[in-house]
């Protein structure tokens, strides 16, 4: 039976769109009127009339033409326009959209509601363009794909799978949960890094202050009071460091900037990216945390995609692109090739050496029992807890380590300055 796309007004005068199965357009109009709708446009799915198509295109052009000058008048010349959306903002949008659709609201109406209440300057016009795309007959996933800087491949493909399976609201709910859990893990890792960064900054600031302002004053005192008498080795070292920082601070800053830029440029090469990611996985203290975070992201992403109906090969490609670590991405590529040849997922994962035996064993069991998606999500939950434990352990270890580091930095300078002072005081007492 043919399907007809309709645009209609409900009893409250709100516009809605959707599909209805009917033998003809007149039958479709009759069904809509019986349901309490007032149809304004009904045409067979995928066809429409030339006049309707032309009118729709003219409407879109008119909207774009009207909005462009308005933006230009309101903002003036924009040199650096923001094009991305914060993860938290996108997470809230996804959750609200899933709730509205699950409540029975049509997609177009739900997008209109969210557009009116959205405050983000990038997401608000993006939602408006999504509404235009859906209203002109395109799918929601096609509209999302036109904004790759806002909606990544994971988002687009999950929505496409939800549309094909007729479970868009369920997929959006899963996507919102995925974003929430991923953001939670990211926040925990960032929180663990804040303390050592603050302590390191304080240590560098105190050391720079002492070397630039305090040590030179003591150096002059030592020259006046001790003359040509030799100074302790540690004192000479601190004075040398002070002169280096005081006289060549521009060069030091330039070297640091060059080093940062060099590391970033190295990370853009295949070999450099691989080396940096290998260091991240094997670094003391934080290496284990990085590994657990990457495994949690991998298993959750793949499990969520497959559970939502995305084909396994396509899901592996998306997971590889969002892995965040080239070592794991290479392992996922090998898994993709293995699955493409009809082989097991377990063997290439085991050969990569990037995954612990427990993860490999659980994936093997999931494959054998036909419950791989559920097993992947279970692994993600386990590693979420592992990340929590690692963050707590790392924080407890870093606190004394950073305190000792700060004490060594300041203590070394203080000892270096006080050793000659002791000699001066001893000399004065001998003279007295």
Asked if pLDDT for residue 66 goes beyond 70, the answer is no
| pLDDT band, very low/low/confident/very high, at 291 (cuts 50, 70, 90) | confident
Model confidence pLDDT, tens digit, residues 123-147:
999 999 999 988 888 889 899 989 9
Nearest to 318 by CA among 160, 108, 133, 194: 160
In this structure, what token pair is assigned to residue 18?
């959707």
58 or 328, higher pLDDT:
328
The whole-number average pLDDT for the span 215-235 is 85
229 or 275, higher pLDDT:
275
| pLDDT band, very low/low/confident/very high, at 41 (cuts 50, 70, 90) | confident
- pLDDT, position 199: 80
Q: On the CB side of 178, how many CA atoms lie within 13 Å of its CA?
A: 23
Task: Look at the domain 173-432 and name its fold.
Answer: Receptor-associated Protein (1.20.81)
Q: Residue ranges of the domains in the chain? A: 3-56, 87-151, 173-432
Model confidence pLDDT, tens digit, residues 333-353:
888 888 888 887 888 888 877
Average pLDDT of every residue of the chain: 81
Asked if pLDDT for residue 63 goes beyond 70, the answer is no
- pLDDT, position 46: 64
Model confidence pLDDT, tens digit, residues 73-121:
344 444 445 678 888 899 899 989 988 888 888 898 889 999 998 988 9
The whole-number average pLDDT for the span 374-382 is 91
43 strand-pairing partners:
5
- pLDDT, position 191: 79
- pLDDT, position 349: 82
- pLDDT, position 281: 85
- pLDDT, position 77: 41
- pLDDT, position 253: 92
Percent of the chain residues topping a pLDDT of 70 = 88
- pLDDT, position 38: 63
- pLDDT, position 57: 39
17 or 300, higher pLDDT:
300
In this structure, what token pair is assigned to residue 163?
């549309």
Model confidence pLDDT, tens digit, residues 381-397:
999 888 888 888 888 88
- pLDDT, position 82: 64
| Gyration radius of the chain over CA positions | 32
Model confidence pLDDT, tens digit, residues 171-218:
888 888 888 888 888 888 787 778 778 888 888 888 889 888 889 998
Written as one string, the DSSP assignment of 291-327 is HHHHHHHHHHHHHHHHHTT--HHHHHHHHHHT-S-HH
Model confidence pLDDT, tens digit, residues 1-32:
778 887 776 655 566 788 888 877 777 777 77
- pLDDT, position 76: 42
- pLDDT, position 432: 57
């Amino acid at each position: 039976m043919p399907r007809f796309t309709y645009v209609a007004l409900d009893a409250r005068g709100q516009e809605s769109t959707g599909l209805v199965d009917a033998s003809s357009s007149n039958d479709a109009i009759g069904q809509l009127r019986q349901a309490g709708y007032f149809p304004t446009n009904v045409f067979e799915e995928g066809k429409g009339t030339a006049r309707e198509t032309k009118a729709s295109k003219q409407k879109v052009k008119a909207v774009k033409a009207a909005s462009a000058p308005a933006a230009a008048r309101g903002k003036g010349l924009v040199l650096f326009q923001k094009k991305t959306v914060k993860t938290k903002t996108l997470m809230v949008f996804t959750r609200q959209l899933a709730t509205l659709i699950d409540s029975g609201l049509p997609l177009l109406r739900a997008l209109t509601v969210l557009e009116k209440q959205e405050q983000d300057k990038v997401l608000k016009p993006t939602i408006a363009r999504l509404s235009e795309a859906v209203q002109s007959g395109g799918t929601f996933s096609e509209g999302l794909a036109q904004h790759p800087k806002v909606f990544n491949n994971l988002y687009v493909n999950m929505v496409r799978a939800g549309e094909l399976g007729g479970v868009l609201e369920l997929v959006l709910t899963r996507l919102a949960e995925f974003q929430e859990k991923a953001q939670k893990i990211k926040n925990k890792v960032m929180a663990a890094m804040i303390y050592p960064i603050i302590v390191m900054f304080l240590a560098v600031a105190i050391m720079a202050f002492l070397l630039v302002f305090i040590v030179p004053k003591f150096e002059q005192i030592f020259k006046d009071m001790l003359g040509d008498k030799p100074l302790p080795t540690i004192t000479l070292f601190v004075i040398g460091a002070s002169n280096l920082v005081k006289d060549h601070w521009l060069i030091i800053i330039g070297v640091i900037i060059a080093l940062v830029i060099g590391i970033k440029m190295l990370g853009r090469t295949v070999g450099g990216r691989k080396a940096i990611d290998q260091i991240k996985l094997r670094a003391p203290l934080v290496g284990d945390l990085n590994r657990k975070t990457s495994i949690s992201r991998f298993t959750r992403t793949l499990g969520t995609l497959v559970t939502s109906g995305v084909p396994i090969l396509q899901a592996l490609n998306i997971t590889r692109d969002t892995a965040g670590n080239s070592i794991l991405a290479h392992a996922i590529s090998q898994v993709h090739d293995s699955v493409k040849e009809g082989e097991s997922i377990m063997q290439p994962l085991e050969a990569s050496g990037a995954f612990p035996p427990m993860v490999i064993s659980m994936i093997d069991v999931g494959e054998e029992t036909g419950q791989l998606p559920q097993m992947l999500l279970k692994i993600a939950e386990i590693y979420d807890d592992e990340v929590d434990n690692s963050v707590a352990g790392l924080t407890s270890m870093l606190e004394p380590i950073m305190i000792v580091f700060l004490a060594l930095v300041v203590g070394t300078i203080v000892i270096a300055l006080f050793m000659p002072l002791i000699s001066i005081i001893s000399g004065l007492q001998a003279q007295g």
